[in-house]
Copies of this chain bind each other. A is one copy, B any other.
Amino acid sequence: MALPKQYAEQGCSLARALEIVGERWTLLIIRDAFYGVRRFGDFVEHLDIPRAVLSDRLKDLVDNGVMVKATAPGRARADYELTEMGRELWPVVHGLTQWGDEHFASKGPPRFFEHVEDGGRIDSELTCETCHRRIDVEDTRVVPGPGLGKRSSSGAVGEALKSPHRLLDPLPV
Protein backbone atom coordinates (compact mmCIF):
# COMPACT_ATOMS: atom_id res chain seq x y z
CA MET A 1 0.00 0.00 0.00
CA ALA A 2 1.48 3.24 -1.11
CA LEU A 3 -0.34 5.99 0.71
CA PRO A 4 -1.16 4.90 4.25
CA LYS A 5 0.89 7.64 5.87
CA GLN A 6 -0.77 10.36 3.86
CA TYR A 7 -4.25 8.93 4.26
CA ALA A 8 -3.72 8.22 7.95
CA GLU A 9 -3.58 11.97 8.52
CA GLN A 10 -7.24 12.16 7.61
CA GLY A 11 -8.36 10.53 10.86
CA CYS A 12 -11.34 9.26 8.92
CA SER A 13 -12.73 5.77 8.60
CA LEU A 14 -13.16 6.23 4.87
CA ALA A 15 -9.45 6.97 4.55
CA ARG A 16 -8.62 3.84 6.55
CA ALA A 17 -10.95 1.77 4.38
CA LEU A 18 -9.31 3.16 1.25
CA GLU A 19 -5.88 2.19 2.57
CA ILE A 20 -7.14 -1.42 2.47
CA VAL A 21 -9.32 -1.53 -0.65
CA GLY A 22 -8.43 1.66 -2.53
CA GLU A 23 -5.41 0.32 -4.40
CA ARG A 24 -5.76 -0.31 -8.11
CA TRP A 25 -7.31 -3.67 -8.92
CA THR A 26 -8.22 -4.46 -5.33
CA LEU A 27 -12.00 -4.02 -5.62
CA LEU A 28 -11.98 -5.99 -8.88
CA ILE A 29 -10.20 -8.85 -7.11
CA ILE A 30 -12.78 -8.70 -4.32
CA ARG A 31 -15.60 -8.66 -6.88
CA ASP A 32 -14.17 -11.79 -8.52
CA ALA A 33 -13.99 -13.43 -5.08
CA PHE A 34 -17.72 -12.69 -4.66
CA TYR A 35 -18.24 -14.39 -8.05
CA GLY A 36 -16.55 -17.49 -6.64
CA VAL A 37 -13.06 -17.15 -8.09
CA ARG A 38 -10.62 -18.72 -5.63
CA ARG A 39 -7.47 -19.77 -7.50
CA PHE A 40 -4.55 -17.48 -8.28
CA GLY A 41 -4.54 -18.56 -11.93
CA ASP A 42 -8.26 -17.89 -12.33
CA PHE A 43 -7.91 -14.33 -11.00
CA VAL A 44 -5.03 -13.79 -13.45
CA GLU A 45 -7.03 -15.10 -16.39
CA HIS A 46 -10.31 -13.34 -15.64
CA LEU A 47 -8.84 -9.98 -14.64
CA ASP A 48 -5.92 -10.03 -17.08
CA ILE A 49 -3.84 -8.66 -14.20
CA PRO A 50 -0.04 -8.94 -13.99
CA ARG A 51 0.87 -11.85 -11.69
CA ALA A 52 3.19 -9.71 -9.53
CA VAL A 53 0.45 -7.13 -8.95
CA LEU A 54 -2.10 -9.81 -8.08
CA SER A 55 0.37 -11.41 -5.70
CA ASP A 56 0.93 -8.08 -3.91
CA ARG A 57 -2.77 -7.31 -3.67
CA LEU A 58 -3.71 -10.76 -2.36
CA LYS A 59 -0.95 -10.56 0.24
CA ASP A 60 -2.26 -7.17 1.43
CA LEU A 61 -5.83 -8.47 1.53
CA VAL A 62 -4.77 -11.51 3.58
CA ASP A 63 -2.59 -9.39 5.90
CA ASN A 64 -5.50 -7.02 6.50
CA GLY A 65 -8.04 -9.74 7.22
CA VAL A 66 -10.17 -9.25 4.10
CA MET A 67 -9.24 -12.61 2.56
CA VAL A 68 -7.86 -15.89 3.86
CA LYS A 69 -5.43 -18.21 2.09
CA ALA A 70 -5.86 -21.96 2.56
CA THR A 71 -4.65 -25.10 0.86
CA ALA A 72 -7.21 -27.89 0.69
CA PRO A 73 -5.98 -31.45 1.35
CA GLY A 74 -4.62 -33.01 -1.82
CA ARG A 75 -4.36 -29.67 -3.63
CA ALA A 76 -1.03 -28.27 -4.73
CA ARG A 77 -1.92 -24.58 -4.60
CA ALA A 78 -3.70 -22.36 -2.11
CA ASP A 79 -7.17 -20.92 -2.56
CA TYR A 80 -8.19 -17.39 -1.58
CA GLU A 81 -11.55 -16.72 0.03
CA LEU A 82 -13.24 -13.67 1.50
CA THR A 83 -13.46 -13.54 5.29
CA GLU A 84 -16.54 -12.23 7.09
CA MET A 85 -14.85 -8.80 7.07
CA GLY A 86 -14.37 -9.12 3.33
CA ARG A 87 -17.95 -10.23 2.71
CA GLU A 88 -19.12 -7.08 4.49
CA LEU A 89 -17.83 -5.18 1.45
CA TRP A 90 -20.67 -6.51 -0.70
CA PRO A 91 -22.83 -3.34 -0.37
CA VAL A 92 -19.86 -1.27 -1.57
CA VAL A 93 -19.02 -3.55 -4.50
CA HIS A 94 -22.70 -3.78 -5.44
CA GLY A 95 -23.25 -0.03 -5.04
CA LEU A 96 -20.33 0.90 -7.30
CA THR A 97 -21.39 -1.70 -9.85
CA GLN A 98 -24.95 -0.35 -9.91
CA TRP A 99 -23.64 3.19 -10.28
CA GLY A 100 -21.54 2.06 -13.22
CA ASP A 101 -24.50 0.20 -14.73
CA GLU A 102 -26.68 3.26 -14.49
CA HIS A 103 -24.25 5.71 -16.03
CA PHE A 104 -22.02 3.78 -18.40
CA ALA A 105 -23.74 0.57 -19.51
CA SER A 106 -25.18 1.80 -22.81
CA LYS A 107 -26.14 -1.74 -23.87
CA GLY A 108 -27.61 -2.58 -20.48
CA PRO A 109 -25.88 -4.11 -17.46
CA PRO A 110 -23.20 -6.73 -18.23
CA ARG A 111 -24.51 -8.77 -15.29
CA PHE A 112 -27.60 -8.77 -13.09
CA PHE A 113 -27.98 -9.77 -9.47
CA GLU A 114 -31.00 -11.79 -8.41
CA HIS A 115 -32.52 -13.20 -5.24
CA VAL A 116 -31.86 -16.97 -5.42
CA GLU A 117 -35.16 -17.90 -3.72
CA ASP A 118 -37.60 -16.14 -6.03
CA GLY A 119 -35.50 -14.86 -8.94
CA GLY A 120 -36.35 -11.22 -8.19
CA ARG A 121 -33.93 -8.57 -9.43
CA ILE A 122 -31.90 -6.93 -6.64
CA ASP A 123 -32.11 -3.14 -6.74
CA SER A 124 -29.68 -0.41 -5.73
CA GLU A 125 -30.82 -0.68 -2.09
CA LEU A 126 -30.01 -4.42 -2.07
CA THR A 127 -33.75 -5.11 -1.92
CA CYS A 128 -35.43 -7.86 -3.96
CA GLU A 129 -37.97 -6.42 -6.39
CA THR A 130 -40.18 -9.48 -5.92
CA CYS A 131 -40.30 -10.04 -2.16
CA HIS A 132 -39.15 -6.52 -1.11
CA ARG A 133 -36.76 -7.89 1.51
CA ARG A 134 -33.12 -6.89 1.87
CA ILE A 135 -31.08 -9.76 0.46
CA ASP A 136 -27.81 -11.03 1.93
CA VAL A 137 -24.93 -11.70 -0.41
CA GLU A 138 -25.23 -15.46 0.30
CA ASP A 139 -28.77 -15.43 -1.14
CA THR A 140 -27.74 -13.57 -4.29
CA ARG A 141 -26.86 -14.97 -7.70
CA VAL A 142 -25.17 -13.32 -10.66
CA VAL A 143 -26.65 -13.81 -14.13
CA PRO A 144 -25.42 -12.57 -17.52
CA GLY A 145 -27.00 -9.32 -18.78
CA PRO A 146 -27.39 -7.72 -22.21
CA GLY A 147 -24.20 -5.64 -21.92
CA LEU A 148 -21.88 -8.59 -21.35
CA GLY A 149 -18.87 -8.29 -23.65
CA LYS A 150 -16.90 -11.02 -25.37
CA ARG A 151 -13.87 -10.46 -23.18
CA SER A 152 -15.86 -11.01 -19.96
CA SER A 153 -17.51 -14.18 -21.17
CA SER A 154 -14.41 -15.92 -22.51
CA GLY A 155 -11.95 -18.03 -20.59
CA ALA A 156 -12.77 -20.55 -17.87
CA VAL A 157 -14.23 -18.02 -15.42
CA GLY A 158 -16.23 -16.24 -18.13
CA GLU A 159 -17.60 -19.57 -19.33
CA ALA A 160 -18.58 -20.63 -15.82
CA LEU A 161 -20.40 -17.31 -15.29
CA LYS A 162 -22.55 -17.80 -18.40
CA SER A 163 -24.97 -19.72 -16.18
CA PRO A 164 -26.61 -18.18 -13.09
CA HIS A 165 -24.19 -18.59 -10.20
CA ARG A 166 -24.75 -18.10 -6.47
CA LEU A 167 -22.28 -15.58 -5.06
CA LEU A 168 -19.42 -16.93 -2.92
CA ASP A 169 -19.97 -20.52 -4.12
CA PRO A 170 -16.76 -21.73 -5.78
CA LEU A 171 -16.95 -21.54 -9.55
CA PRO A 172 -16.86 -24.85 -11.40
CA VAL A 173 -13.60 -24.06 -13.19
What residues of chain A have their CB less than 8 Å away from a CB belonging to chain B?
A: 2-3, 6-7, 9-18, 21-22, 24, 27-28, 31, 47-48, 65, 85, 88-89, 91-93, 95-105, 109-111, 124-126, 134, 147-152
Most B CB within 10 A of own CB, among A22, A27, A89: A22
Given contacts A88-B99, A89-B99, contact A104 B13 (CB under 8 A): yes
Q: Is the CB of A110 within 8 A of B12?
A: yes
Q: Is the CB of B3 within 8 A of A148?
A: no
Alpha-carbon distance between A13 and B13 when the two chains are bound, in angstroms: 25
A44: min CB distance to chain B, Å: 13
Q: Which of B14, B93, B125, B126 has a CB less than 8 Å from the CB of A27?
A: B14
Most B CB within 10 A of own CB, among A3, A7, A13, A89: A13
Given contacts A125-B134, A148-B11, A152-B11, contact A21 B88 (CB under 8 A): no
Q: Which residue of chain B has the shortest Cβ distance to A14 in the bound complex?
A: B97
Contacts of A47 in B (CB 8 A): 10
Alpha-carbon distance between A152 and B92 when the two chains are bound, in angstroms: 24
Q: Is the CB of A17 within 8 A of B148?
A: no
Given contacts A91-B91, A92-B95, A134-B125, contact A105 B22 (CB under 8 A): no
Alpha-carbon distance between A89 and B13 when the two chains are bound, in angstroms: 17
